[in-house]
Every structure is written in structure tokens, then in C-alpha cells.
Structure 1
Amino acid sequence: MADPCIITPGTLRAWPLPAGDARDKRGRGTVLVIGGSRNTPGAVLLAGIAALRAGAGRLQLAVAQTAATALSIAVPEAKVVGLPETPAGGAAALPQALLELVAAADTIAVGPGLDDVEETGKILDTVLHEAAPGTTVVLDAYALGALSLRPQLLEDGRRGVVLTPNRVEAEHLLGRELGADLGAEAAALAARHGAAVCLHGHVADPDGTVWREESGDAGLGTSGSGDVLAGLVAGLLARGARPAQAGCWATYAHAVTGQRLAPRFGRTGFLARELLDEVAYTIATV
């Protein structure tokens, strides 16, 4: 593996994001986030707002039915669809109305806030079957757990997938403990699944190219931070960014926004939702 490329503002300026049609929300893409059990709808909220802050034009959210009304009030910019629930409050099968949204979405993020790996596997299987060939997909949280149990889910040759694992999820996907070289581990995951990978400040493309972001700090290790990252990736994909490009821009924006919050809240005192109010500025000022 070649040495990683360091992600800097110069790196990103040389790899500009697609502008889309700024006059038309459809021209900047539609993001659908599927996740959120009865007890964790906030993960979908964080991912969805992050997608809008990254520049997506339209947002659609799917969450457990009992949380749907509250989420629609909390995120008035989004169309919210309720999902059937398991007895424990987890999201279950996708209703017909949601299948229509899956078929029409530009980017689908699956996983934030889901809490049942078997049900998530069924949801993911349906999404990958019903989504249009050109639809990009972000897999996060329990969707990665489902993929670790059923790696064949991505064997249909679909491109335009980004995985956003934390260290534990990466170990499940690899079936072993992580080594010290996270860039190499990200590259191994990318090659195994034919997908771009964002892993703890490292981004890998299936072609073997690896990038590293060096400004991320301890404050990003907070509840909901990964949901924000997944949403940023989804929003950038919806705008037309390529998978590894979306991963690099999102990883940089996530890390640098944390740096910008640290003087106000300390290195470990800011909340994931506070990233949302700053990240668009970070992207705009690259």
C-alpha cells in the first residue's frame, strides 16, 4: 500500500465538490436516512440535518412509527415516514410508501439508531434490491453489523457505497482485532467490500488509495458524532461527489469543526448536535 495522502484544504480545493443546481433542491440531490428505533430517533435527526448542512437539497427520514411525529416536528425540513416496529421498539419491515422513496432517492443512509441486527439485515437487503442502480448508499452502525454477518449483500457489484465504521464495527467486518495501521485496515475493508471506507480519520478507496486526516481530536469520540459523519457523507454523495471524495471532505469537515468548537467547550465538552451548526461553515471556507 502506498503512503496515505494527507487531507488538507489544498487537497480538497484540488478536488472540488460538484456544485449541483443551487437554484433547485432536486438538483442538489435527495437523501433518505433509514434508522431510528423507538428509543434512538435522535441518530436519524443528527444524520439527516448533517446531510442538509453538507448541501443536499431534499431530506427524507424513516424512523420507528412511535417516534415519527416527534421527529417531523424536530426536523420540519424533512419528510418523515414511520416504520413498523418490533415488540422491543426497533424498526422492522419497510412499508410500500418507503419503498417508493427508496427507488427515487439519490443517496440512502442505512443504520443510524437501528438496534436489531437481524431486522437491520432485512432492511438493508430490501434497500439494496429496491434502490436504483445509480443510487449511492452509506452504511453505518447496525447496518455494518448486518454486513459483517452477510457480506454477500454487497456482492451484486453495486458501486457508490461508503462504509463509516468505528473501531469495533471495523473489527466485526474484518473478523479480527484491528492492527496499529488504520490506513491499512481501512484499505483492507475497502478491498473486501468494494466500497469506500471512513475509519477513524482514514479514508480508503477500493483501488487501494488511502487518505489520512490529522486534525481530529478526542472530542469527536462523543455520542452521536458518528451519525453526523455518516450524514455528511450522504449529503455530499447526493450533491454528486464520488464515494472516496465524499469520505475525504466529510472526514475533514467533521474533524475541523470539532477543532473550531474546542475553544468554546473544551476538547471534550462539545456535543454532536453542536457540530451541525458549524460544519457548513467549515465546508464553505475550505
Structure 2
Amino acid sequence: MNLDTFVGQKEIVFALKKALKNPFHAYIFEGEKGFGKKLLARVFSKHILCENKSSCGVCKSCRLFEASSHPDFHIIKRQEDKKEISVESIREIIKDLSRGPIFSDKKVFIIEEGEELSISAQNALLKTLEEPPTYALFIITCNNIERLLPTVLSRSIVLSFKRYSASEIAKILEQNGLEPKDYIVKLCKGNPKIALDFYNKEVQNKRDYIFDKLLCYDGASFDLIKEFESDFEKLKNDFEFLFKNIIYFLRDALFYKKTKSIELITNTDKLEKIIEFSNKHTISHIYKLLQDFMILEKYPDANVISDNVLDMIFLKLSGG
């Protein structure tokens, strides 16, 4: 892949193409997780390091890059056993920078999940951003730009990634050898990673499991609430996925209950289940349940699940 074949983010790609001959020393790629920030950072890096600035795939630099052995290209990320990207990691970058490039005219450093940089690491990086060597190029990918210091932001060019259009999502799926499905293009809400994840069998199984549980729900069964308790515990690392699927399902059921039309339904592959659910419950019941889950969606943290949050879920499900 190169800048010409990268799908989406046209304004950003255009800006990066213009910068190939004389790039700024620091870029921040910010936006929602799954928007292709890391991929575009690698694509741009390959262009920068290429002897022809074209990602030719033929020159020595491109061959080294494709073999993941380019000495002038480095990716920095949080270590699995650490909570942050440490100041020591940044000091290693600074040490490496003192030696200059080996094969290219630039040394490129991608810092992934830049919001995970500790404050001391950001301050250490800041010194280099203020007076960078002419051959230094930093690309920081970031899902939460608010966690970066204003001084780091002010010394970088910030490029904000936007949601993808339906046609762009379809093209990305085709590039990955997948047949674009209407309900997936709708459900992913312009996020390519979510769209690609839908083709994962495990994800599909989780979705079916959630929908089947909702179909069993009668609004009063204590035994079912206890089943939900164990299910939520098993899925606590997928709370965002869990709640979004429940909310979209309930919205579809509400639309169908009110209109008896399938035109507004998002989960078009699950029409039978949606119709069955809507036939079992009143409009007011579905609407209340939808409201409850939309409120609950804002509570859980993917990393910290409290008993209070789970108790609230069970209370809402039981009609309390």
C-alpha cells in the first residue's frame, strides 16, 4: 500500500503528499480508534524513507522497511507490563537520534497511542521537538489528544482523522477480500476497524449470543437476571461492543414496532429476531429499556468494572 492506494482521509493524504520532499519534524495523527492512524503512519514513513520518496518497493530502503528491519525506522509503544510509555523509552529515542540516519536522509519514529506517554516522557520528548535534528521525524498516533501536553501539541502538526464514508468502508472491505454487506457498512458508523471486526467469527458469535439473550428476556425473570450477571462478567472487556449491539437492536425493534416497516432497520441480517422481539413487548417497554441502556452505556469503563454498575444493570433489566 502507498499514499495513492490508501482509502479515505483525502485531505490528510493530500497534505502528506505535499510534505514528502520537506516534511515537518513532528505530526500528530489523532482520532477515534480504528480510523487507520497507525496504518497511514507506516505508509507515510515508507514514502519518507524510500530513496525515490515514492514507496517504490524496489530500493534498498523499501526492501528493508518491508522486511521490518530498517535501521532508520522505529515504533515506540507501551510495554504490556507497564501502565505508561516511560521516560526511559524516550531517552532511548534521543540516544538513537544522536547517531544520525544510516540508509536514508531521515530517521522516523512512530509513537503509538501517544496518550499513554507519561508526563515525564512528554517533557523529555518536548526538548527534542523544540530543537530537533534536521533528519528527525516523529509521528504520534493518538486516540485521546486531550492527554497530550499543550506544549507538545504546539510543536507538532495535528492531523485529525474523520469518519469514513459508506463507499470508502466498502472499498476497504473489498481490499481485504471481503464482500461489503449493507448492515455492516451501516453498523460500523464510518469506522473501518469495526467493519472488519464484524467478519470475525468470534465477533459474530458474541453478537448472536447477545441477541438470543434479549429474545429470552421477559422483563421479570430473576433467573434470567442471574444469567445476565455471569454474561456481563464474561463480556466485561467488550462492554462498548455489548452496549452498542443491545442499543442498535432495541432501536430496530422500536422502529419496527412503531412503523411495521423494515426500511429503518440497521440489523438487516437479523430481521426475524427483531420482529420477534418487537412482537413480544409494548412500545413503552422497548422505549424504556432503550433509554436505560443508553444511560448505562456511559457508565462502564473497559478497564474498571464496578459492582455498582453491574447492580444498576440488573435493576434496570428487572424493571426496577
TM-score of the pair, normalised by structure 1: 0.33
More strand by share: 1
More helix by share: 2
TM-score of the pair, normalised by structure 2: 0.30
Larger Rg: 2
